[in-house]
Structure 1
């Protein structure tokens, strides 16, 4: 059985703790996040017909991608 590198375990534990903290924050803030006008922005495509509903949130996904990219850039510095 190969030896486990303690440095890798420490990095993995930090990632898991950060993800857990993020999930807790999202869970606590879900009440207010639901009220945001996300997924109802101009540019989000909604086709609603009898027996068929198609939803493609282009603008919302671009906005979320921008926020995640900015956060990644900040934390990388």
Structure 2
């Protein structure tokens, strides 16, 4: 039982490490969240931001990555 739990913790640790690296790389690009199609409305003290295009692109990329991982 503890053997499986240990493997699960290692797997999640590696997953978090990879996700942290991806987030760091994306933040250095600078254009993520400022693509055409992202909704940004600012009226007085109220700001609304919804990264529609960014969300779609990230979804497609993650779907492709997970498809390749699952097929192995």
Shorter chain as denominator, the TM-score bin is 0.7 to 0.9
Larger radius of gyration: 1
Count of residues in Structure 1 that have an aligned counterpart in Structure 2:
68
Structure 2 residue 71 is matched with structure 1 residue 71: no
TM-score (norm. length: structure 2): 0.73
TM-score (norm. length: structure 1): 0.69
Question: Where in structure 1 are there 5+ consecutive unaligned residues?
Answer: 1-5
What is the rounded CA distance, in whole Å, between the counterparts of 1:61 and 1:15 in structure 2? Answer: 28
Q: Over aligned residue pairs, what C-alpha RMSD do you find?
A: 2.3
Question: Where in structure 2 are there 5+ consecutive unaligned residues?
Answer: none
- Deviation (angstroms), 1:76: 1.1
